[in-house]
Homo-oligomer: A and B are copies of this chain.
Amino acid sequence: MTPLESLASVVPADIIISDRDVMERYLHDDAEWAPFEEALAVIRPRETAHVVAAVNWCIENHVAVVPRGAGTGLSGGANALSGCLVISMDAMNRVLEVDVAERTARVQPGVVNNDLRAHVAEDGLWYPPDPASAPWSTIGGNVSTNAGGLCCVKYGVTGEYVLSIEMVNGAGKLVRVGKRTAKDVAGYDLRGLVVGSEGTLGVITEVTVRLLPLPPKPRAVVGYFDSLVEAGQGVANVTAAGIIPSALELVDSYCLRAVDDWKNMGLSADAEVLLLASSDVPGAAGEEECAGIVKAFEDAGATFAAVSESDEEAEAFFAARRLAYPALERLGPVLTEDVCVARTKVPEVLGRIQAIAAKHDTIIAQIAHAGDGNLHPLIVTPVGDEDAKARAQLAFAEIIEAALAAGGTVSGEHGIGLLKKHGLHEELSADVIDMHTAVKRALDPHGIMNPGKVFDPSH
């Protein structure tokens, strides 16, 4: 019996993909600079039992498991390993239950983020985590990378909305980890350990998320700046004023022009750098908060700062922010950075990144979840220019060094995958890598769960 015949004896044949051409799109995520290898096969389970059977087959046959959602990841975490079984959870995409009174939703991992948001909005509820990939990325993938987004400055990251996780663990058992209630301190927070573990501890088969009441429609504040450093100071001023906006984003003119060229939104004329803030505090207090943000921008040297005049105008600005990444991708391969530094270090590190761009003669467009200190320098290279790609990789490494030197982290929200492994080993001490190794071996005793991703075991 061939391995594929053996696999087909434990899961339905119609969920197995082994044709190389059909497999192609399941072999890598959106990190086009990360390597990937050839899988044995891809399966697209329709039910949890398929996952249990497949993982146990992999344990018995010493086959590596690479779980994936929509493949919108930006660090190669879902990239195929040689001879592995890719388990694509995209077909398990149902919202199983919304408990309106308790404000929770139980979903399959393949549910698309925006679909969940639309679903619960019908009941006046809100799932806050909003990665820019929300129209495509899945909840399972969001949980596996602990995805962030624009909301995080006020509402936190994906992990804060994950109550419990059902998963097939490294021992091949179907387990449920996490909480059933608002508070629960019974035992170790294994739920938190799985969040952000990028498929290295098991395959997620169900997620129960916490919801909030839908917030009021936010007001937007826009600030125009002549330089990144002044915009960075605007961010620091907002924090120092004790204001927690519901979003605080930075977009530079390179991104705005790319969006304009694509969508003709007419946004790029007047500023080198734009700060976009929003406030969802209702009533007079919200007006006061917006006035405080305008003042913080002006004090940092904004050439223009004002509360947006209409919902449509506000929406256009935030739409441009969300479109920045796909707009740049139209221009050529983009190497996406994702460092995070203290909010007070934002001006300094933005300046460092500009210097790095100049040094390596690279185009680095800047977007940032600035209110969190989460910077996304986007290194754009012309199509087919291998020399530019090499320079981009040097700049990428230097930006990581700059973030670490400023006390920051190599990944704020995209995860480590393959692209950031070297950086992770620089960021964490050898003793902490030892702890990672011990935990990984404890929970994945057969060593089959996405091996070689995130970190290299220490011994």
Q: Is A195 part of the contact surface with B, judged by Cβ < 8 Å?
A: yes
Give a binary string over A259-288; 1 marks a CB under 8 Å from any B CB, 0 the rest. Answer: 000000000000000000000011111000
Number of copies: 2
Give a binary string over A325-338; 1 marks a CB under 8 Å from any B CB, 0 the rest. Answer: 00000000000000
- Decide if A188 touches B182 in the complex (CB within 8 Å): no
Give a binary string over A224-262; 1 marks a CB under 8 Å from any B CB, 0 the rest. Answer: 000000000000100110111000000000000000000
Q: Is A148 part of the contact surface with B, judged by Cβ < 8 Å?
A: yes
- A243: chain B residues at CB < 8 Å are 213
- Decide if B424 touches A183 in the complex (CB within 8 Å): no
- Decide if A435 touches B374 in the complex (CB within 8 Å): no
- Decide if B455 touches A187 in the complex (CB within 8 Å): yes
Rounded to whole angstroms, the CA-CA distance of A407 and B160 in the bound complex is: 21
Q: Is A302 part of the contact surface with B, judged by Cβ < 8 Å?
A: no
Write the chain B residue with the least CB distance to A374.
B183
- Decide if B410 touches A181 in the complex (CB within 8 Å): no
Rounded to whole angstroms, the CA-CA distance of A439 and B171 in the bound complex is: 13
Rounded to whole angstroms, the CA-CA distance of A183 and B179 in the bound complex is: 23
Instruction: For the complex formed, measure the closest distance between the CB of A457 and the CB atoms of chain B, giving whole angstroms.
Output: 12
Which stretch of A54-62, A309-317, A413-421 is in the interface? A413-421
Name A333-354 residues within 8 Å CB distance of B. Answer: 340-344
Q: Is A49 part of the contact surface with B, judged by Cβ < 8 Å?
A: no
Give a binary string over A144-168; 1 marks a CB under 8 Å from any B CB, 0 the rest. Answer: 0110100011001101100000000
- Decide if B188 touches A436 in the complex (CB within 8 Å): yes
Query: Which of B153, B169, B180 is close to A342, meaning CB atoms less than 8 Å apart?
Result: B180
Rounded to whole angstroms, the CA-CA distance of A157 and B210 in the bound complex is: 15
Q: Is A218 part of the contact surface with B, judged by Cβ < 8 Å?
A: no
- Decide if B432 touches A190 in the complex (CB within 8 Å): yes
Write the chain B residue with the least CB distance to A123.
B242
- Decide if B442 touches A186 in the complex (CB within 8 Å): no
Rounded to whole angstroms, the CA-CA distance of A414 and B184 in the bound complex is: 9
Q: Is A177 part of the contact surface with B, judged by Cβ < 8 Å?
A: yes
- A239: chain B residues at CB < 8 Å are 101-103
- A141: chain B residues at CB < 8 Å are none
- A100: chain B residues at CB < 8 Å are 240
Q: Is A130 part of the contact surface with B, judged by Cβ < 8 Å?
A: no
Rounded to whole angstroms, the CA-CA distance of A267 and B409 in the bound complex is: 52
- Decide if B340 touches A182 in the complex (CB within 8 Å): yes
13 cross-chain CB contacts under 8 A: A146-B189, A153-B182, A171-B434, A183-B412, A184-B409, A184-B412, A185-B409, A186-B409, A187-B416, A188-B197, A281-B285, A284-B284, A438-B445
